[in-house]
Amino acid sequence: MAEFTEISPNASATAKVTNWFENRFPTAFAGYRTHMSEYYAPKNFNFWYFFGVLSMLVLVIQIVTGIFLVMHYKPDAAKAFESVEYIMRDVPWGWLVRYMHSTGASAFFIVVYLHMYRGLIYGSYRKPRELVWIFGCAIFLTLMAEAFMGYLLPWGQMSYWGAQVIVNLFSAVPFIGPDLALLIRGDYVVSDATLNRFFSFHVIAVPLVLLGLVAAHIFALHDVGSNNPDGVEIKGPNAPKDADGHPLDGIPFHPFYTVHDIFGVSVFLMVFSAVIFFAPEGGGYFLEYNNFIPADPLKTPLHIAPVWYFTPYYSMLRAITTEMMYVLIACVVAAGAFAVIKSRLPSVFKAGAAVATVVAVALMLAIDPKFWGVVVMGGAVMILFPLPWLDQSPVKSIRYRPSWHMWVYGLFVINFAVLGYLGTQPPSPIGERVSQVGTLFYFGFFLLMPWWSRLGEFKPVPDRITVPAH
């Protein structure tokens, strides 16, 4: 049993109460010191570092508003749409809670995409933060599952048919596809059984996984320390420290960055509130107009598209046609030929690469392109996980890379946005070609990164952070 810490009888009432709690719950106070008051962060954080705390804020908003929505929502195919209308029209402030939740889903993806882009340009996935990045990618994958399952719950036209299309994609998996789709739906079509399954996962199972991954992400980050725009390690064995062992290039997270984050949170809440009160549908992107029509299994909408944060991947899915398969086969053959002819791999590995190339080409010719579209859609997310090992640049931050690297990252963002826009539009010959080129660029950005990330003249990285604390 731990010994109690004594306090002066003349201490203030606040100090006495704090001492009383600390003696009885020392773990909480130790956690506060480890992750807040005694956690030293680099002193040159900029506005890109707002989006981590904003992601946590939106997660809290989603959980709290979700709890209030569940109080009135009916997970029944015959009553789900009406229960949402009841929340919007009759529950006091129900419209506000519903809009906070629906707009919050889009806000979640906006801040997460920006948070990931910050990690991309500043090399926050590089050693020793590989596990932090992997946890972050797992959070993103879990968030996509959570959003997809929640999207069905309003039981509107777009929710119903969007789920029908996406779940049917799993039937393209060879051998197990039809049974897998049946397992996900719980029926031969999207029905009441599907709604109940998705509701259970959306409300209970997936949020528990998400919270666990968020905790692991934060703990892993604080164990190795935060990255910064310069990519300079402030806590390494050679980093300068003061007499108490604290990094000279760091400042305590609390109170300096708590105040910093409060400013970012305030600006975000003003923008978030403006959207909720003046444009909660986001022009049909946050809430599609077809979703205000009850689900009708007998009436298919003219154009079925997922919500905007899934559309880049949906666009890649649609890009995989029979013609595109020949382009992909050519890419696989070229990669295999390079591995056999030009690489310095041992002969055994070269032989293995040749066999793998032949097998891959045979499978690509034998299996329906629809399946490979699903593979490409899933691969677009999974390719983020090995990023720490794909980037072979000698420096972390974009600040010290060749200037043309920033153009590559800029083109990547533009390409992703174009794919997202095309995913919201009906199929067209021009859109199909653009999405095919965009898909090749997206995967080429990552798969060729071991080559292009080493090219160019790199600037010298400073030994110390020179930006003053703010």
Same domain, 159 and 59: yes
Same domain, 161 and 59: yes
Of the ranges 24-38, 66-80, 200-214, 439-453, which one carries the lowest mean pLDDT score?
Answer: 24-38
Ranges 171-175, 194-198, 243-247, most confident = 194-198
- Under DSSP, is residue 391 helix (H, G, I), strand (E, B) or coil? coil
Of the ranges 242-246, 359-363, 431-435, which one carries the lowest mean pLDDT score?
Answer: 242-246
What residue numbers does the annotated binding site for heme b cover? 101, 115, 202, 217
The mean pLDDT of the chain is: 91
State percent of the chain over pLDDT 70: 98
* Domain assignment present for 17: no
* Domain assignment present for 15: no
* Domain assignment present for 429: yes
State the pLDDT at residue 85: 95
* Domain assignment present for 20: no
Per-residue pLDDT tens digits for 358-401? 999 999 999 888 899 999 999 999 999 999 999 999 999 999 99
Above 60 in pLDDT, residue 465?
A: yes
Same domain, 242 and 333: no
Q: How far is CA 89 from CA 74, 155, 283, in A?
A: 15, 17, 21
Please, which pLDDT band fits residue 33 given cuts at 50, 70 and 90?
confident
Domain count, the chain: 2
Above 60 in pLDDT, residue 470?
A: no
Taking every pair of Cα atoms in the chain, the longest distance, rounded to a whole number of angstroms, is: 83
Here the CATH number for the domain that contains residue 234 is 1.20.810.10
Same domain, 104 and 167: yes
Please, which pLDDT band fits residue 89 given cuts at 50, 70 and 90?
very high
- Structural domain boundaries enclosing 200: 32-292
Cα separation, 48 vs 31, whole angstroms: 26
State the pLDDT at residue 2: 57
- Which residues lie closer than 8 Å to 51 by C-beta, 6 or more apart? 111, 112, 114, 115, 118
Above 60 in pLDDT, residue 320?
A: yes
State the pLDDT at residue 199: 96
Same domain, 161 and 254: yes
Residues forming a β-bridge with 41:
251
Above 80 in pLDDT, residue 223?
A: yes
Per-residue pLDDT tens digits for 40-62? 889 888 899 999 999 999 999 99
Cα separation, 282 vs 279, whole angstroms: 5
What residue numbers does the annotated binding site cover? 101, 115, 202, 217, 222
Same domain, 315 and 353: yes
Which of these, 389, 394, 382, lies nearest to 442 by C-alpha position? 382
Please, which pLDDT band fits residue 280 given cuts at 50, 70 and 90?
very high
Q: Which residue did the predictor score with more confidence, 185 or 244?
A: 185
* Domain assignment present for 13: no
* Domain assignment present for 297: no
* Domain assignment present for 142: yes
Same domain, 71 and 197: yes
Same domain, 288 and 337: no
Same domain, 347 and 447: yes
* Domain assignment present for 21: no
Same domain, 245 and 331: no
- Under DSSP, is residue 251 helix (H, G, I), strand (E, B) or coil? strand
Cα separation, 308 vs 190, whole angstroms: 22
Same domain, 228 and 357: no
Above 90 in pLDDT, residue 174?
A: no
- Phi first, then psi, for residue 296 (nearest 5°) are -130, 105
Above 60 in pLDDT, residue 331?
A: yes
SS (H, E, C) 278-332: HCCCHHHCCCCHHHHCECCCCCCCCCCCCCHHHHHHHHHHHHCCHHHHHHHHHHH
Same domain, 283 and 315: no
Ranges 23-37, 301-315, 408-422, most confident = 408-422
**Prediction pTM value:** 0.93
What residue numbers does the annotated binding site for a ubiquinone cover? 222
